[in-house]
Amino acid sequence: MSKERTLSIIKPDGVEKGVIGKVIGRFEEEGLKPVAIRMARLSQAEAEGFYAVHKARPFFKDLVSFMTSGPVVLMVLEGENAVAKNREVMGATDPAKAAPNTLRKLHASNIEKNTVHGSDSADNAKVEIAYFFPETAISAYEWKR
Ligand SMILES: Nc1ncnc2c1ncn2[C@@H]1O[C@H](COP(=O)(O)OP(=O)(O)OP(=O)(O)O)[C@@H](O)[C@H]1O
């Protein structure tokens, strides 16, 4: 197993509920070490670009509106198998289907306002990290703003 990096976002509902500390604390307990963190208020263009893969989905407009509705915490997490580990700690997209003690089971309101985002593959993690963190970007990916 090698060290890997993944992008994590604490979504506006998580910031609003005041669970930033709990979420980051849980990542640390699970061996996911934050190596970059910043808060941001995503613009519509940034949120649309980030979720471009979901453009054709019926929930796209609402998702962009939700993700721009308040501040988010953008983080790069590093650890063994960080992508898979982060997704395990987050739990299923829909909190009703998430395993006990996962972040989404503990904190999420519904399938949209589900508190955290995590990259779903090592390749996507590289793209997503570069999207928000130019200083840690891999040179093959372009800063998109
Ligand atoms: N059916 C739905 N209705 C409303 N919002 C949804 C729905 N499905 C997904 N979403 C929103 O879009 C996001 C991206 O969906 P995706 O299927 O990629 O889930 P995920 O990989 O578990 O989540 P994320 O990409 O945020 O880590 C979800 O986290 C959620 O906020």
Summarised one tens digit per residue, pLDDT across range 51-72 is: 999 999 999 999 999 999 999 9
Collapsing DSSP to helix, strand or coil, 115 comes out as coil
Cα(44) to ligand 1 centroid in Å equals 17
**Residues, the chain:** 145
User: ipTM for the complex?
Assistant: 0.92
Cα(69) to ligand 1 centroid in Å equals 16
Best of 10, 13, 60, 63 for a ligand 1 pocket test (most atoms within 8 Å of beta carbon): 63
State which residues of the chain have pLDDT below 50.
Answer: 136-145
Residue 142's pLDDT is 39
- Where do the domains of the chain lie, and which CATH numbers do they carry? 4-134 (3.30.70.141)
